Structure 1
Amino acid sequence: MYDASVFRRPAFVAVALATLTAALVWWYAARPVDIGIDWHEGTWNSASFAPFRAGQSPLTRNWPTPEQVENDLAHVKTAFRGVRTYAAIGAAQDVPALAARHGLKVIHGAWLSSTPADNEAEVSALIEAANRYPQSVERVIVGNEVLLRRDLDAGQIIRHLDRVRQSIRQPVSYADVWAFWLKNPQLADHVDYLTIHILPYWEDEPASVTDMEQRFVEVIGKIKAAFPGKPILIGEAGWPTEGRSRGPAIADLPNAAHFLRRLPQLAAQYGFDYNVVEAYDQLWKAQQEGTVGARWGLYDVDRQQKFGTTGPVDPFPEAGLRAGASVLGGLALALWLIPAGFGLTRALAVAGLAQLLAAGAIDTLWHAQRLAISPASVSWCLQRLLFFAADTGLLDKPTVSELYRGYMDTTPALAEAWAWVRILATVVATGVLAALLRARLFGREAPGLARAARLGYLSYVAGALMISAMLAFNGRYLDIPIPEFWLPALGLPALWLAARLAGSPRGYGLAALTAPGPARLKLGLWLLAGAVAVILGEGFAIVGEDFTAMHPDWSERAPLIWHAFFWNRQILACALMLVWLALPLLAEWRRPAAAAT
């Protein structure tokens, strides 16, 4: 129950000041951002169209109904003049007929994979749809990023292209990241137009949204020089609204709005056609690409537009709800924590601390059901192991396909279950931390709570080591889970401060919250190694196909790689978090093991 003295001065003044300050900070952080670009026409040429809703996925073959597809096409028509599909069977098989009904143009696609039977079905369906619905199917694309995935080689793709070109009247193309066209120029002789993907966020050398114009000009210039006179379609151009950053490429609502408002202006200025990726958020993509892969849509999964074509843009989703919950939670925590007899200074310190802890807890809870930090998010590891086994002959490709599909069938349930585990763990950790803080502020012994806090701290250390290894070796498609570590990062100094404010003669050293003596040094050093590893991993991650195409000489590459070690603020913050978790271990490792009880 609350201590009634908190409603008397000076404690009441301290709580009021801290609450008002927190409210002002949240107001400033959540205020709409004026990005300085408006798109008054309000419609774009085309959008990647995948009408999957929550719980639906091509990986599990859980398809939208024809009614859902038609509703989405009618909705998309308000913002886009046409749509691009990626497959001729499954969710997109009804799109040509429905698009004709709604007056939308379609860039229809066939999905090519390493499975010959599936490719035959896709190509046949594409040919049939193009001939049956010429009024809606304006162009076709045979295969999407097949070379990038290494499912087929250029010769196999050419055979499919030639077959389609001989069977339909519409222009035919193949789509891939622009660098793969330069590596496989023979493909250009078998298409009517080039479909290249320019995604400054995803490229090996990511670019900020303010540098998008320079990146587009550079890439289009290289393609035009290599294939003079060939028409060009930017088959994928877009920006994610949420997820991990990639160096200067920051995934958020203002940057996405900047990109989509500026894109049609660039197209008019430099004379290229484009397709926006994508119309709707695709939650299923989080299983392969983390949170960022699921958040590229102009519309969210509930079909709500994320930002307008003109005016200011919200800085982050549900800003008002998160701000209100944080401020009210901090107010309640402060009223519960401040003991009788605290003066203004000490009461203000506790009230401010309560607002910080509430903000950390709310942010952690919010991200627990948004970030794809789950067993499902490490699917990249299984993919690479299976594909390596297939490439080396240890497993044949049909077996790999069956194993991978079986794994993907389980990942939605795993992801949802793990999100609930993280939510419950955050609630428990917040409760333990708050109770231990109150005990210390009131000068009480709480050995049971201290043991629970130590167990929680060690669980965070174990999670941090696992995450750092994943980010270091292949973090491109993994979230950077900074919100997951707000509680230990804030809790450790909070417990120390609480003991000081209460005038504890022992000061309650952090040894009570760390591992037994012999293990402290090892864990601390592993955390420091993880901090270095995530920075190195982020730097070397830029070396890929389009990076080498853009910078053929190592004299150009070396300084860029060095710069990449330090350009991602999220990775640097993650490294700092690892160091922060290591400090108590390194500071206390010389103390006797008995002091840790």
Structure 2
Amino acid sequence: MASLAATARRPLLWLLLLLLAAAANLYWWRLGRPVALPDAPAGRIACVSYTPFHQPGESALDPRAVVTPQRIDRDLRALSARFSCVRTYSVGGGMDAVPRIAQRYGMQVLLGIWLARDAAANERELAAGIALARQYRDTVRAVVVGNEVMLRGELTAPALAAYIGRVRRATALPVTYADVSDFWLCVPANPRCQGFHRDLAPAVSFLTIHVLPYWEDRPVAVGDAVAHVRDVVARLRAAYPGREVLIGETGWPSAGRQRAGAVPSRVNEARFVREFLVWAAQAHVPYNLIEAFDQPWKRALEGTAGGYWGLFDARYRPKFPLRGPVVEEPRWRQGPALGAALALLFALPALARRGWRERAGVAALLLAGDATGAALAAQLRYMGMAERDAFEWGVAAACTLAALATCALIAAALARWLGDGAPALALDCGATALQRKRGGGPGRGLGLARFGWLFGAALVALLLAFDARYRDFLLPLYAPPVAGFALLALTGIGARRPLALEERLLAGWVGASAAVTLAEEGWANAHAWAWAALCLVLAAAVLLPDRIARRRAGAGGPQPAA
């Protein structure tokens, strides 16, 4: 049975190498396929949220940040080709120039006045906003007094209603307040909603709601997202008969973590926006899309997804057309190209070393290199979307290089096993390897690498268990080394020496965390399933060889050195 099992492992290993290389390249091929979507109605889009801090390093949270009129002019000139209106959120930091420049391009403005806890800052915003609304009353369509200030718990409904009344009397323009739909629909028994219906609703000229299916407490998949928006609007109209309802924010992110069945992607953003525009035109619903430009600074607050709600990227390029097919990744060929390059790089040392010129070993290196390169190309793509500053880029680059080095060591071990029948290695775990003063070799390096990835996976699993909402699943980083360690376990490499206690404990937690992740994320989250699968595979790749090694040790079998 043992020889039969050993014989069966070899073709299985070849099959898995082929499948991994094919899957990594198929991933990129699918990213490059045009996806047919409904066309948006012809004509201009009604309105879009505009925040000018869309260049790297800029942040609307910086109290010293000031945007120049030249930047606003460049932004609005680009937006005026597609949009009839912009919604702003503050009049500070140079944003008081927006009405004047919007007037130049024939655009209207939903003028935002930012309110928070600071009463003095509120007074400055109110004074500036009222002055602008009076001066540009032909450009300012309405004044939005406060944005989600009730959601943040920074003002009470009576205090907010008093501010709204002041602006309404001073400007004689329509005045509203913008918040998530749950607050407009909240029950009076909710402490955070006290006075909302009694004091706030009568104070506004019309209701402004935010409906973001991706961010709902129960996220909505993109296929049901427009229907969800439609249902929310219907509920608002039923709760406030005869009152006008403006959708003040709605949209979909083009990148980020999956939430339940809600998947951020360029194609899904295009699908939501197009389907929403079709419905809004048919239902004659006033709306404002979020948002004009991607906002990198929002990633600090809302994770990767927070920075990718824009219809334009930071370089003024539309992220997708409003008509015709949409491609998720126009540069998709870079993934297979990196796979091919890394395949050659992995195989070169084998060709240069006399003992590795067997065709099987070289073929194994080519397949492993191709799979690794295509997979790590996905990690590079992710880094370009997720990392915000030099520190994050440095950490991500170090981890990516570690993944590459780990996969190179694994590929070499697999090539020896498949090519020249070299004996399996004994992997030392981290603590054991560091305690040994002599020895080394590939078994020691692989043991340290396995311990490092196991420790990292345990840490990520811990963070996902207790603080998951804005954290990404690090799938493209962990998939290559985890797959490699699984292949090593299949060969029997690592089954020659029992593990230290700390490595067994880490592996046990990583495996158990898969159930925790699925319980928290829900069964519809494919990203959560993929991460759970990686955790289970990594735990199995560590614990199963350890079990074999302990059985051998109990039977008095030999324990060869690395």
Deviation at 1:474? 3.2
Structure 1 runs of 4+ with >6 Å offset:
17-24, 593-597
Compared with structure 1, are the counterparts of its residues 509 and 317 closer, same or farther at alpha carbon in structure 2 (3 Å cutoff)? Answer: same
Matched, 1:433 2:448: no
Partner of residue 57 from structure 1, selected from 56, 59, 63? 59
Compared with structure 1, are the counterparts of its residues 275 and 489 closer, same or farther at alpha carbon in structure 2 (3 Å cutoff)? Answer: same
Bigger Cα displacement from structure 2, 44-53 vs 525-534: 525-534
- TM-score, length of structure 1 as denominator length: 0.78
Superposed counterparts of 1:172-571, under 5 Å: 172-183=175-186, 184-186=196-198, 187-316=200-329, 318-337=331-350, 340-343=356-359, 348-372=363-387, 415-438=389-412, 441-442=415-416, 443=422, 447-496=440-489, 500=491, 507-509=492-494, 516-538=499-521, 565-571=522-528
The answer on whether the counterparts of 1:51 and 1:69 sit within 8 Å (CA) in structure 2 is yes
RMSD, aligned CA: 2.8
Deviation at 1:77? 0.6
Compared with structure 1, are the counterparts of its residues 242 and 125 closer, same or farther at alpha carbon in structure 2 (3 Å cutoff)? Answer: same
> Alignment partner of 2:473: what SS?
coil
- TM-score, length of structure 2 as denominator length: 0.83
Distance of 1:595 and 1:142 partners within structure 2 = 74
Runs of 5+ consecutive residues of structure 1 not aligned to the other structure: 1-13, 373-411, 501-506, 539-564
The answer on whether the counterparts of 1:523 and 1:585 sit within 8 Å (CA) in structure 2 is no
Matched, 1:93 2:96: yes
Superposed counterparts of 1:25-104, under 5 Å: 25=26, 28-52=29-53, 53-60=55-62, 61-104=64-107
Compared with structure 1, are the counterparts of its residues 290 and 23 closer, same or farther at alpha carbon in structure 2 (3 Å cutoff)? Answer: closer
Distance of 1:453 and 1:256 partners within structure 2 = 42
Compared with structure 1, are the counterparts of its residues 441 and 534 closer, same or farther at alpha carbon in structure 2 (3 Å cutoff)? Answer: same
Compared with structure 1, are the counterparts of its residues 161 and 19 closer, same or farther at alpha carbon in structure 2 (3 Å cutoff)? Answer: closer
Alignment-derived partner of residue 125 in structure 1: 128
Distance of 1:335 and 1:42 partners within structure 2 = 57
The answer on whether the counterparts of 1:492 and 1:510 sit within 8 Å (CA) in structure 2 is no
1:218-254 superposed Cα distances (whole Å, 9 cap, x missing partner) = 1111100111111111000111111111122110011
Compared with structure 1, are the counterparts of its residues 337 and 291 closer, same or farther at alpha carbon in structure 2 (3 Å cutoff)? Answer: farther
The answer on whether the counterparts of 1:364 and 1:486 sit within 8 Å (CA) in structure 2 is no
The answer on whether the counterparts of 2:213 and 2:220 sit within 8 Å (CA) in structure 1 is yes
Deviation at 1:23? 9.8
Deviation at 1:526? 1.2
1:389-441 superposed Cα distances (whole Å, 9 cap, x missing partner) = xxxxxxxxxxxxxxxxxxxxxxx6xx431222221332243134314532552
Distance of 1:463 and 1:30 partners within structure 2 = 28
> Alignment partner of 1:93: what SS?
helix
Distance of 2:103 and 2:495 partners within structure 1 = 68
Distance of 2:94 and 2:518 partners within structure 1 = 40
Matched, 1:587 2:544: yes
Distance of 1:56 and 1:66 partners within structure 2 = 16
Deviation at 1:26? 5.9
> Alignment partner of 2:215: what SS?
coil
Runs of 5+ consecutive residues of structure 2 not aligned to the other structure: 1-14, 187-195, 417-421, 426-438, 554-558
Q: Max radius of gyration: which structure?
A: 2
Compared with structure 1, are the counterparts of its residues 518 and 212 closer, same or farther at alpha carbon in structure 2 (3 Å cutoff)? Answer: closer
The answer on whether the counterparts of 1:510 and 1:584 sit within 8 Å (CA) in structure 2 is no
Partner of residue 113 from structure 2, selected from 110, 114, 120? 110
Compared with structure 1, are the counterparts of its residues 453 and 64 closer, same or farther at alpha carbon in structure 2 (3 Å cutoff)? Answer: farther
Partner of residue 135 from structure 1, selected from 132, 135, 138? 138
- How many aligned positions are there? 504
Deviation at 1:341? 5.0
Deviation at 1:359? 1.5
1:342 alignment partner AA: E
1:434-480 superposed Cα distances (whole Å, 9 cap, x missing partner) = 14532552449793443333333323223322322322233222222
Distance of 2:277 and 2:88 partners within structure 1 = 20
Distance of 1:425 and 1:19 partners within structure 2 = 21
Deviation at 1:287? 0.4
